[in-house]
Structure 1
Amino acid sequence: MSLETFSAEEHQKLVDAEQRYGNAFINAYNTTVLLSNLMMWPLVDCDLFIRFYSQMKKYHSLCVASTVRLHRVQAKMDLRYFLESTANAAFSLAHTDTQNYFDLQNNRIGDAQRATLKAYKWLEITYPGHSNFMKELKAEINEQTAHAHVVNSQHNFDLVAGQRAEIVTSYFDFEDDELVKLDLWVGAKAGLHAIDLILSVQKDFGGFLPSSDVSDFPQLMADNDAVLRELRDERGHQ
């Protein structure tokens, strides 16, 4: 076992991702780039929003990278954190006061779970379409990959029977291009929903000046739909 070797292999998997996963990776990559460049400049004091936005950017990029590096559970945990950061970013952009996150009276940080629950409830009422998408995706992640589960061992554990039996416990997930492409599509779709949500909140409540890069958003949505069609066609031909 060598962490240096693993790190080098991870880098090579990322370098090779476009060639290996094609449009699924290109769409996910372009989505995370746009997500990272949504804001040109704040127009009001929106420190809380920018803090959560920084978490959105980081964990969506980590989700994409972890997916092609063949760390599925890590990618899904990153995606879950990204969804929570998105909910709080949207809420704090519309509510610039700090009461949901800081207990000013007692000079301490507020309860994170309670703050996130309040953000989710606000989203449910104010932006129900985005709320439903995030709720369903988060539930799926919670059920499948957010917690230690024997089922997840299928990605990196195997018992090879025979005269010389072998127990395999791989650092990387076993290669499954179809699953990786599907996860890239899901990650991209989550990123596009988040972009749409943040831009909708910005339009309704202000807060920052969007960058000119947002003009690429409609094309990325169309590309994401095209990736799904490709995946369905590939499965249909198997």
Structure 2
Amino acid sequence: MSLEIFSAEEHQRLVDAESRYGNAFVNTYNTTILLSNLMMWPVIDCDLFIRFYSQMKKYHTLSVVSTVRLHRIQAKMDLRYFLESTANAAFSLAHTDTQNYFDLQNNRIGDAQKATLKAYKWLEVTYLAHSNFMRELKADINEQTAHAHVVNSHHNFDFVPGQKAEIITSYFDFEDDELIKLDLWIAAKAGIHAADLILTVQKDFGGFLPSSDSDILGQLMTDNDAVLRELQSAKA
């Protein structure tokens, strides 16, 4: 076992991702770049939004990187954190007061779970389509990968019987290119929904000037649909 070798192999897997996973990776890569460049500059004091937006950017990118580095559970946990950050970013962009996040009367930070629940409830009332997508994806992650489960061991555990029996507990997940392409498509779709949500809230409530990079959102949606058709054709 060598952490240096693991790190080098992870880097190489990222370098090789476009040639290996094709349009699925390209669409996801372009989506995470867009997410990192949505905002040109704030026009009001929106510190809370920018804090959550920074978490959105970081954890979407980490999810993409973890996917191609063959760490599926980590990728899904990062994607779940990304969804929660997105909900709070949208809420705090529309509600610039700090009451949902700070208990000013008692001079302490508020309950994070209660704050996130309030943000989700607000999304359900105000932006139902985005809320439904985020809720369904989060439920899938919670059910399949967010918690320790013996079923998830099939990604990196195997037993080879025989005279020279072998127990395999791999640092990397076993390679499954079609599953990785699917996970990349899901990550891209989540990023596209998040970008669309934040830009929609910005139109409704202001807060910041969008960058010109946001103009490619429509093309990313089209490309994401094309990736899905590719995946479906591969299974036909």
For normalisation by structure 2, the TM-score amounts to 1.00
Partner of 1:44: 44
How high is the sequence identity, in percent, across the aligned residues?
83
Partner of 2:20: 20
CA distance in 2 between partners of 1:11 and 1:113 (Å):
35
What amino acid does structure 1 have at the position aligned with 2:140?
E
**Map 1:24-173 → 2, pairs under 5 A:** 24-173=24-173
CA distance in 1 between partners of 2:163 and 2:109 (Å):
60
CA distance in 2 between partners of 1:200 and 1:151 (Å):
39
CA distance in 2 between partners of 1:56 and 1:77 (Å):
13
Deviation at 1:204, TM superposition (A): 0.3
CA distance in 2 between partners of 1:104 and 1:148 (Å):
37
What amino acid does structure 2 have at the position aligned with 1:194?
A
Deviation at 1:105, TM superposition (A): 0.5
Partner of 2:6: 6
The runs of at least 4 aligned residues of structure 1 exceeding 6 Å deviation read none
CA distance in 2 between partners of 1:194 and 1:148 (Å):
27
CA distance in 2 between partners of 1:68 and 1:166 (Å):
26
Q: Deviations over 1:71-112 (max 9, x none)?
A: 000000000000000000000000000000000001100000
CA distance in 2 between partners of 1:120 and 1:110 (Å):
16
CA distance in 1 between partners of 2:162 and 2:76 (Å):
34
The CA RMSD over aligned residues, in Å, is: 0.3
Deviation at 1:218, TM superposition (A): 0.5
CA distance in 1 between partners of 2:96 and 2:129 (Å):
23
CA distance in 2 between partners of 1:50 and 1:225 (Å):
30
What amino acid does structure 2 have at the position aligned with 1:41?
W
Q: Deviations over 1:26-47 (max 9, x none)?
A: 0000000000000000000000
CA distance in 2 between partners of 1:204 and 1:216 (Å):
20
What amino acid does structure 1 have at the position aligned with 2:5?
T
For normalisation by structure 1, the TM-score amounts to 0.99
CA distance in 2 between partners of 1:165 and 1:182 (Å):
33
Structure 2's unaligned 5+ residue stretches are none
Question: What SS class does the counterpart of residue 154 from structure 1 fall into?
Answer: helix
- Count of residue pairs the alignment pairs up: 236
Question: What SS class does the counterpart of residue 159 from structure 1 fall into?
Answer: strand
Deviation at 1:127, TM superposition (A): 0.2
CA distance in 1 between partners of 2:50 and 2:203 (Å):
16
CA distance in 2 between partners of 1:105 and 1:3 (Å):
47
CA distance in 2 between partners of 1:131 and 1:213 (Å):
24
Deviation at 1:219, TM superposition (A): 0.5
Q: Deviations over 1:106-145 (max 9, x none)?
A: 1100000000000000000000000000000000000000
